[in-house]
């Protein structure tokens, strides 16, 4: 049972069907009013009202502008807020991970949400079921739109967090975040899995864990570009969310990513959200870089038909 049915997600129905370009990014002028509105709200110290939060609760994902999740991999709240200010109204979501959260704490999440933006809290919870359930509840109370847990915590842990968060959201009338499972970290190799006692083939392990996430009621998984297609065909629910890092716009530096897809390839392979950091945040005009990526998704949609979706590292 998944919360993100295509019909519930503002962009997702059309994006999942590969028709996102037509429906979501017809032109820049469609985006401008939203930006202006939110900038105006933010300029007045905008905070989500109860009514807005309750609306979000009944249709929690209708407000995502697009599938672009920008990773705020910086070490200070000032740097993060500067980036948010510059990306306001452009990115679909902003990712706060362990580095920024450890440096800046939950306050940075509150501030970003108060600026009218969606937050993906990438803390990859992994602990006993009770602890993860309680951490998930606090993430929901914080107002994040998405958070994640390690699937290797097992189905009992995943069910516990799902149930606790769903109950709290209903009881406290707050939006229920999407809960995603992390399958096998992409830093793992077959050897490093063996080292921790997992003899199964790495790809099979990913698929097994993705199925476990689905059975436990999670909304989706975080999957590398290589895993999008196998996960998509392994799960039954077409609304199962796949969020994918390792995405690079055509011609961009690979940084330390070794296997990448372009944004359009990832979408075509079945991803719902794309996490992109440095190709946007390291640019002198991050909003322009983000808009270019959104445009690339738009334009490449037709060009890339038939692509396998996976490019090998230029170094390989
Ligand atoms: O700057 P870049 O686009 O490489 O950032 C990608 C983000 O996604 C980083 O926050 C990184 O930690 C995260 N990530 C990743 N690969 C994974 C899982 C997460 O790059 N397999």
Interval 216-236: pLDDT, tens: 999 999 999 889 999 999 999
Q: pLDDT value at position 206? A: 95
pLDDT in the model for residue 238: 92
Ligand 1 binding pocket mutation candidate from 99, 180, 245 (most atoms within 8 A of CB)? 245
pLDDT band at 303 (very low <50, low <70, confident <90, very high): low
Cross-strand bridge partners of residue 178: 146
The pLDDT value recorded for residue 187 is: 87
Closest residue (by CA) to atom 19 of ligand 1?
Answer: 245
The number of beta carbons lying within 10 Å of the beta carbon of residue 217 is: 17
pLDDT over threshold 70, residue 154: yes
What average pLDDT does range 135-147 have in this prediction? 98
Residue 301 has pLDDT above 80, yes or no: no
Distance from the alpha carbon of residue 246 to the mean position of ligand 1, in angstroms: 6
pTM confidence score: 0.80
CB 268 within 8 A of CB 301: yes
Q: Give domain 6-21+34-297's CATH architecture.
A: Alpha-Beta Barrel (3.20)
Please state, in angstroms and rounded to a whole number, the distance separating the CA atoms of residues 151 and 111: 29
* Residue 302 to residue 293: CA distance in whole angstroms: 15
Q: Given this model, what pLDDT does residue 63 score?
A: 56
In this structure, the residue with its CA closest to atom 4 of ligand 1 is 277
Question: 73 vs 7, which has greater pLDDT?
Answer: 73
Section 257-286 average pLDDT: 90
**How close is the Cα of 253 to the center of ligand 1, in Å?**
14
Question: Is the model's pLDDT at 32 over the cut of 50?
Answer: no
Confidence of residue 300 (pLDDT cuts 50, 70, 90): low
**Per-residue pLDDT tens over the stretch 189-220:** 999 999 999 999 999 999 999 999 999 999 99
For the segment 52-57, the average pLDDT, to the nearest whole number, is 38
Residue 93 has pLDDT above 50, yes or no: yes
Pocket of ligand 1, beta carbon within 6 A: 71, 73, 97, 186, 224, 245-246, 255, 257, 275-278
Percent of the chain with pLDDT over 70: 74
d(CA 265, CA 260): 9
Res 229: pLDDT: 94
CA of 34 to the centre of ligand 1 (A): 28
Is the torsion defined by CA of 200, 273, 130, 104 positive or negative?
positive
> Which of 29-43, 159-173, 285-299 ranks highest by mean pLDDT?
159-173
Ligand 1: centre distance to CA 277 (Å): 7
Cβ–Cβ < 8 Å for 198, 151? no
Q: Rounded distance, CA 218 to CA 155, Å?
A: 10
Residue nearest to atom 5 of ligand 1 (CA): 277
Q: Is the pLDDT of residue 120 over 50?
A: yes
Q: What is the mean pLDDT of residues 10-22?
A: 36
Distance CA 220, CA 237 (A): 10
> pLDDT tens-digit profile of 171-187?
999 999 999 999 999 88
Give me the mean pLDDT over the 84-90 stretch: 96
Mean pLDDT of 4-20: 37
For ligand 1, mutation pick of 71, 80, 97, 258 (most atoms within 8 Å of CB): 71
Residue with the nearest Cα to atom 16 of ligand 1? 245
Provide the annotated active-site residues.
124
Say how far apart CA 277 and CA 289 lie, in whole Å: 11
In order of 68, 182, 247, 277, the CA distances from 309 in angstroms are: 18, 21, 11, 20
Query: If you measure from the C-alpha of residue 193 to the centroid of ligand 1, how many angstroms do you get, rounded to a whole number?
Result: 20
Nearest atom of ligand 1 to the alpha carbon of 282: 1
């Amino acid at each position: 049972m998944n919360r993100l049915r295509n019909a519930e997600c503002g962009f997702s129905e059309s994006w999942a069907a590969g028709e996102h370009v037509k429906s979501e990014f017809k032109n820049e002028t469609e985006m401008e009013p939203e930006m202006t509105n939110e900038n105006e709200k933010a300029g007045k110290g905008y905070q989500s009202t109860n009514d807005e939060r309750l609306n979000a609760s009944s249709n929690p994902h209708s407000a995502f502008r697009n599938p672009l999740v920008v990773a705020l991999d910086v070490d200070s709240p000032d740097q993060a807020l500067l980036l948010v200010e510059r990306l306001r109204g452009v990115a679909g979501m902003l990712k706060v991970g362990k580095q920024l959260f450890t440096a800046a704490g939950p306050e940075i999440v509150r501030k970003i949400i108060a600026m009218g933006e969606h937050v993906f809290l990438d803390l990859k919870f992994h602990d006993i079921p009770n602890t993860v359930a309680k951490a998930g509840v606090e993430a929901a109370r914080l107002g994040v739109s998405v958070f994640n847990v390690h699937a290797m915590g097992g189905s009992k842990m995943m069910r516990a967090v799902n149930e606790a968060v769903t109950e709290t959201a209903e009881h406290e009338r707050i939006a229920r975040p999407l809960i995603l499972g992390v399958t096998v970290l992409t830093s793992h190799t077959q050897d490093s899995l063996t080292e921790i006692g997992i003899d199964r083939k790495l790809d099979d392990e990913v698929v097994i864990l993705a199925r476990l996430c689905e059975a436990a009621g999670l909304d989706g998984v975080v999957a590398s570009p290589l895993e999008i297609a196998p996960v998509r065909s392994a799960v039954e629910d077409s609304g199962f969310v796949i969020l994918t890092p390792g995405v690079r716009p055509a011609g961009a530096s690979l940084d330390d990513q070794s296997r990448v897809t372009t944004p359009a390839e990832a979408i075509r392979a079945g991803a719902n959200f794309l996490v992109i950091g440095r190709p946007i945040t390291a640019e002198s005009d991050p909003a322009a870089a983000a808009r270019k990526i959104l445009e690339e998704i738009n334009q490449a949609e037709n060009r890339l038909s038939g692509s396998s979706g996976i490019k090998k590292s230029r170094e390989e």
